[in-house]
Amino acid sequence: MTTREAVARVRRREGVAVIELIGDLNAAAEPALDEAWTAATSERPEAVVLSFENSGYINSTGIALVVGLLASARTHRIPIRAYGLSDHYREIFEITRLADFMAIEDDEDSAVQRAVQGAGGDGNG
């Protein structure tokens, strides 16, 4: 199976850190994700938004990495949201019950806006 190397870019918008996930989310993505998380939370953001808009294949190890981010977000009381998931991966987030703890939005504007407003819960359960 061909894979796309994972890259995670961080940018800030209205006090919210947006982590853009590019490529496949699997075991090899851990260093990139860790680095991005550190960069995103070094200056405490209002919230973190995970962008899956340009992500590719996600396997179960990739889901575990997201759980690790959720745990870290919870520890530091940082709300976390996601957007850009395809229907398929939305369903995966439902199966794995990540969706119980991470609000999933349709697009970046909605995710950032709701994160800023704190509307609809903080996404951390």
Partner 1 sequence: MSSNDEQPAAANRDAANWAKLVSRLKVAQVPDGAVNLNVDGRQLTSPIQGFGKMWQKTYVVRLPGERVTPTELIATWRRQFGEFWPKGNHFYAPLTGIEPGDVALLNLRMPGGTTLSTGVMVLYADEESFTLMTPQGHMFAGWITFSAARQDDETVVQSQVLMRASDPIFELALTMGGHRQEDLFWSQTLGNVAAHFGHPDAVVETKVVCVDKRRQWSRWRNVWHSSAIRSTIYMVEAPIRAITPHKRPAA
Q: Which residues bind partner 1 (CB under 8 A)?
A: 1, 24, 27, 52-61, 64, 67-68, 70-72, 74-75, 84, 86-89, 91-92, 94-98, 100-101, 108, 125
End-to-end CA distance of the chain: 36
**In the complex, minimum distance from the CB of residue 117 to partner 1, in angstroms, rounded to a whole number:** 21
The Cα–Cα gap between 50 and 90 comes to: 13
Residue number with CB closer to partner 1 (96 or 113) = 96
Q: Is residue 103 classed as helix, strand or coil in its secondary structure? A: strand
Residue number with CB closer to partner 1 (44 or 76) = 76
CA 114 to chain centre: 15
Contact 15, 43 (CB under 8 A): no
Residue number with CB closer to partner 1 (19 or 52) = 52
Distances (CA, A) of 4 to 78, 91, 97, 107, 124: 29, 22, 26, 23, 30
**In the complex, minimum distance from the CB of residue 38 to partner 1, in angstroms, rounded to a whole number:** 15
**In the complex, minimum distance from the CB of residue 51 to partner 1, in angstroms, rounded to a whole number:** 8
Residue number with CB closer to partner 1 (43 or 100) = 100
**In the complex, minimum distance from the CB of residue 2 to partner 1, in angstroms, rounded to a whole number:** 9
